[in-house]
Structure 1
Amino acid sequence: MPRLFTALEIPRDAALSLSLLRGGLPGARWLDVENYHITLRFIGDVDGPTADEVVNALDRVDRPSFSLSLSGIGSFGAKKPHSIWAGVSACSELMALQAEIERICQRIGLAPDTRRFSPHVTLARLRHARVSDVVSYLSGRGDFRTESFDVGRFVVMSARDSVGGGPYLVEEAYPLGWRNSVPSLSSSAWQPSRSN
């Protein structure tokens, strides 16, 4: 059974900026740069028919493309840190996209995701990292920020069992804004010429 999730891919320039944050933290297992992503909705381990239903249902998403930037870094697990992440600057289009994906997943019968959506890019998984080391690492990198980048699609990815995250494979891609870029058939450009 594949373990699926929807995500935004991180473009090369932003991924390169993120990769410069690697190192300097004992107990960190850094994710490979090609595995950086922003999870929109974790779907989980599903059977083939359910995976097909998810893939087909997500084709209904009709959202515009948008711009996004990454800013700041932090950790999950205050008393026992377990991961390091880069934050995502506030973006209403991102929140609307995630909410639409969540609604579609629930409509086809998947259980609601009870966690509050907190967009981020996981950079490292921590194992036996000391809180003081994590605090020291984060304090020197809090002003991290990427240039803005365009988001023109979201994807369904699958995860293979591994230690520390990845490899992740793109199973399906969905363009954003494409419905608005296709001229309607009622447009004058599509009207046949009249010959008398």
Structure 2
Amino acid sequence: MPRLFTALEIPARVAADLSMLRGGLSGARWIDAENYHITLRFIGDVDDAMAHDVAMTLAGVRRPSMTVELDRLDSFGGDKPRALIVKARADSALTELQAEHERLLRRLGAAPEPRKFVPHVTLARLRGAPSSAVAAYLGTRGYFPPLRFEAASFVLYSSRDSVGGGPYIVEAEYSLRGKAAAA
């Protein structure tokens, strides 16, 4: 039974820049740069028939390519930080693509995504890192220069059930060079 999600891949040059942020935070389990991505929609564990339906349905997405800007180092979890992330600017092209994935998957019977869409790249998973240490890490990194890339496609990933995810396998890639979908 595959575990699926849709995402934007992070180009190697941007991933290399992001990987320079690694280190200096105890309790961080750093994600390998080749596994950096922006999740659009987590689908979860599905049977082979549903996986096929998902792959076929996503092939109908027609959206133009978009510029993605990564512009802020942050964390998830508040007083109990659980992840170190770089946020992507949530512009309309990105949020509309994510919303289309949500609509299409709900039509196929997937449960609604309970979390608000916050586009980001996870740099590290945190276990036992005090919030003060995370705040100090974020403070010492200072200004985060924006990183931009052109997203010309999105992918359907599968992953095995493991701690921290990965390795991720691209099951299908879908071009974003088509005409924008009609509202």
- TM-score under structure 1 length normalisation: 0.88
Aligned to 2:5: 5
Corresponding letter in the other structure for 2:100: E
The offset of 1:142, in angstroms, is 4.6
Corresponding letter in the other structure for 2:98: Q
Aligned to 2:126: 126
Answer whether contact 1:71 1:143 (CA < 8 A) is retained. no
The offset of 1:154, in angstroms, is 0.3
Identity of counterpart residues, as a percentage? 56
The offset of 1:18, in angstroms, is 0.5
Aligned to 1:23: 23
Aligned to 1:41: 41
Provide the C-alpha distance between the structure 1 equivalents of 2:133 and 2:102, rounded to a whole number of angstroms: 36
Tell me the C-alpha RMSD between the 2 structures: 1.3
The offset of 1:57, in angstroms, is 0.6
The offset of 1:73, in angstroms, is 0.9
Aligned to 1:86: 86
Aligned to 1:101: 101
Where 1:6 maps in the other structure, the secondary structure is: strand
Matches within 5 A, 1:46-65: 46-65=46-65
Where 2:112 maps in the other structure, the secondary structure is: coil
Corresponding letter in the other structure for 1:38: I
Provide the C-alpha distance between the structure 1 equivalents of 2:178 and 2:95, rounded to a whole number of angstroms: 19
Provide the C-alpha distance between the structure 1 equivalents of 2:146 and 2:30, rounded to a whole number of angstroms: 19
Aligned to 2:147: 147
Provide the C-alpha distance between the structure 1 equivalents of 2:142 and 2:161, rounded to a whole number of angstroms: 32
Runs of 4+ that moved beyond 6 A: none
The offset of 1:179, in angstroms, is 5.0
The offset of 1:159, in angstroms, is 1.2
**Structure 2: runs of 5 or more not aligned:** none
Higher Rg? 1
Aligned to 2:175: 175
Where 2:24 maps in the other structure, the secondary structure is: coil
Corresponding letter in the other structure for 1:154: F
The offset of 1:115, in angstroms, is 1.2
